Amino acid sequence: VDIKENSDAEMNLLFELLKKMIYIAMVEDEISKHYDQDRRKFYSSIHLYSGQEAIAVGVCNNLKPNDIIFSNHRNHGHYLAKGGNLETMILELYGSVAGCCRGKGGSMHLCDMKAGVAPSSGIVAGNVSIATGYALANKIKGNKNLVCVFLGDGATEEGSVYESICYAKVRNIPILYVVENNLYAIHTPLKVREPFRYVSEKFSSIIQTMVVDGNNVEEINQVAAEAVRDIGVRGGPYMLECITYRMRAHHGTGNGIDDARTQEEWDIWSKRDPINLTREKLIQHNKGYITKIEDFKSHLSVYLQGVFKFAENSLLPSEEELLTDI
């Protein structure tokens, strides 16, 4: 028995991580429910994070408030894990003038600079070079703020990612590249796109890379801590590749089972759901966690009902407002 692994302090930390994962999952479920009820109320397409929660939570647990994240089209989980404001996020999804982009961005363009969430972009890999430049600016200014950018396996195939990574190496730029390898870019499986098992192999001769189980929040938390420490010591870039699976369709709702993603594959990954795995580990340690988890979920559910109700009845931008800040 690994005493350290089963200590109460370790388990309390795990419980905190679990709560954040449940928070993200419940927000995504609620969005999905409302989207199915009336998608005309949403002014953009949605790309849900369900199944990948451990990555945002494990990584962001190692970031300070002044550290900044750059996200992509699948940004809800990143935004929430970094502490982005839930109300302004949901208002944004409903196109409200009180949303984080005053209703002009929608789901793919969330931002909350107070929480260290830079404006997200739906241009695949577009965030990588911007984040690298931001990290270079931090280095030149001499502050110790870290930049972390999330990108998908598909995004690693964009030329600008090679350019950014080479440049980050040459200039020794302090940046954490977090690759969420969910094995697909829309409907195209990784195995028909690349000869590599891990997409970070393409970069391992250039920068420090590490592959981790993207459904194990404890492991991600530990490896992200090492990566952040390593960037602090060397000053230079680091790539963390997390192997995972999205439990929903590429965009919109549903489970995303199609010609490429079979029911069998989905079932295998569903048994490896990061939230269930963490929940089981906690309960095995102490049955008291069953009620703690249920209490957390029921309080959160009440809060979420209020947030969505408020957002559904919120004001859209006026014609005049629509033409500002664009």
Binding site for ligand TPP (CB under 6 A): 73-74, 122-124, 152-155, 182, 184-186, 250
Q: How far is the CB of 187 from ligand TPP (least distance, A)?
A: 9
Q: How far is the CB of 186 from ligand TPP (least distance, A)?
A: 5
Task: List, in order, residues 6 or more apart from 282 with CB less than 8 Å away.
Answer: 11, 14, 15, 18, 289, 293
Sign of CA dihedral 223, 165, 148, 280: negative
214 sits near Mg ion (criterion: CB under 5 A): no
Please give the residues from 114 up to 153 whose contact with Mg ion meets the rule CB under 5 A: 152-153
Q: Which does 123 bind (CB under 5 to 8 A by kind): ligand TPP, Mg ion, none?
A: ligand TPP
50 sits near Mg ion (criterion: CB under 5 A): no
Q: Which does 124 bind (CB under 5 to 8 A by kind): Mg ion, ligand TPP, none?
A: ligand TPP
**Identity of the residue, 73 or 102, whose beta carbon is nearer to ligand TPP in the bound complex:** 73
Token pair in block for residue 123: 């241009």
**Identity of the residue, 154 or 317, whose beta carbon is nearer to ligand TPP in the bound complex:** 154
Q: How far is the CB of 15 from ligand TPP (least distance, A)?
A: 28
* DSSP category for residue 200: G
Bridge-partner residues for 260, per DSSP? none
Q: Which does 202 bind (CB under 5 to 8 A by kind): Mg ion, ligand TPP, none?
A: none
Q: How far is the CB of 176 from ligand TPP (least distance, A)?
A: 17
**Identity of the residue, 15 or 150, whose beta carbon is nearer to ligand TPP in the bound complex:** 150
Q: How far is the CB of 53 from ligand TPP (least distance, A)?
A: 13
Q: Which does 74 bind (CB under 5 to 8 A by kind): ligand TPP, Mg ion, none?
A: ligand TPP
241 sits near Mg ion (criterion: CB under 5 A): no
Distance CA 54, CA 58 (A): 6
Distance CA 52, CA 80 (A): 13
Please give the residues from 151 up to 170 whose contact with Mg ion meets the rule CB under 5 A: 152-154
Bridge-partner residues for 152, per DSSP? 180
**Identity of the residue, 15 or 177, whose beta carbon is nearer to Mg ion in the bound complex:** 177
Tell me the CA distances in angstroms from 109 to 65, 106, 129, 135, 186, one per residue in order.
20, 6, 17, 20, 19
The total of other beta-carbon atoms located within 10 Å of residue 43's CB is 18
* DSSP category for residue 83: T
Task: List, in order, residues 6 or more apart from 49 with CB less than 8 Å away.
Answer: 24, 28, 56, 74, 75, 76, 77, 78, 246
**Identity of the residue, 239 or 282, whose beta carbon is nearer to Mg ion in the bound complex:** 239
Q: Which residues bind Mg ion (CB under 5 A)?
A: 152-154, 182
